[in-house]
Copies of this chain bind each other. A is one copy, B any other.
Amino acid sequence: MPTPPNEEVSRPVIVLVNPQLGQNIGMCARAMLNCGLEDMRLVAPRDGWPNPDATASASGADQILQDAQVFDSVEAAVSGVGRVYATTARPRDMVKPVVTPRQAAREMREAAGNGERVAVLFGPERSGLDNDAVTLADAVVAVPLNPGFTSLNLAQAVLLVGYEWWQAGDDTPARQLVQTATSGQTAGKEELLNFYTRLEGALDEAGFFSVPEKRPTVVRNIRNIFSRAGLTKGEVDTLHGILSALIKMPKRPRGPKS
Contacts and interface: CB of A to CB of B under 8 A. Distances in A.
Interface string A94-130: 1111111011000000000000000000000000000
B3 A146 contact: yes
A215 to B, nearest CB: 30
Interface residues of A, number: 64
Contacts of A217: none
Contacts of A98: 175-178
A82 interface: no
A152 B32 CA distance: 11
A170 interface: yes
A146 B1 contact: yes
A95 B34 contact: no
A146 B174 contact: no
B175 A99 contact: yes
Given A156-B31, A156-B159, A159-B160, A149 B93 contact: no
Nearest to A31: B156
Contacts of A94: 180, 183
B149 A34 contact: yes
Nearest to A1: B148
Interface of A: 1-4, 6, 27, 30-31, 33-36, 59-61, 91-100, 102-103, 139-140, 142-153, 155-156, 159-160, 163, 166-167, 170, 172-180, 182-184, 230, 232, 235
Given A34-B152, A35-B146, A91 B174 contact: no
A60 B3 CA distance: 37
A94 B175 CA distance: 15
B2 A103 contact: no
A36 B146 CA distance: 5
Contact of A172 (B92, B100, B182, B230): B100
A148 B91 CA distance: 36
